[in-house]
Amino acid sequence: MATNHKLIIGNCMSMEEIPDKAAHLMVTSPPYFNAPFDYKGLFKDYGQYLGVLRYFAKETYRVLQDGRIAVLNIDDMLIDGEKFPIGYLYEQK
């Protein structure tokens, strides 16, 4: 069976190229907020980082068909010795 593939270089916070409920699967490995080795200065603070993830989570929910799967490769964030469970963000309404 032939399949078609389209590569979009865009911003995950606003995926207007993708219609509502058009996707069957979303897999991502987003930047960590405070990984010491990369993305220096990408996020002004942890609040802004969470804002990016919230926009991205909303968009993911919009583009996925009902009952489909979102795969998020991410660790809890360690900030000043305190662990923040990022995954929980996606279980809240």
Please, what is the minimum distance in Å from the beta carbon of residue 69 to ligand SAM?
17
Phi, psi of 48 (to 5 degrees): -65, -40
Residues forming the site for ligand SAM (CB under 6 A): 11-13, 29-31
Residue closer to ligand SAM (CB basis): 2 or 73: 73
Residue closer to ligand SAM (CB basis): 2 or 9: 9
Residue closer to ligand SAM (CB basis): 1 or 8: 8
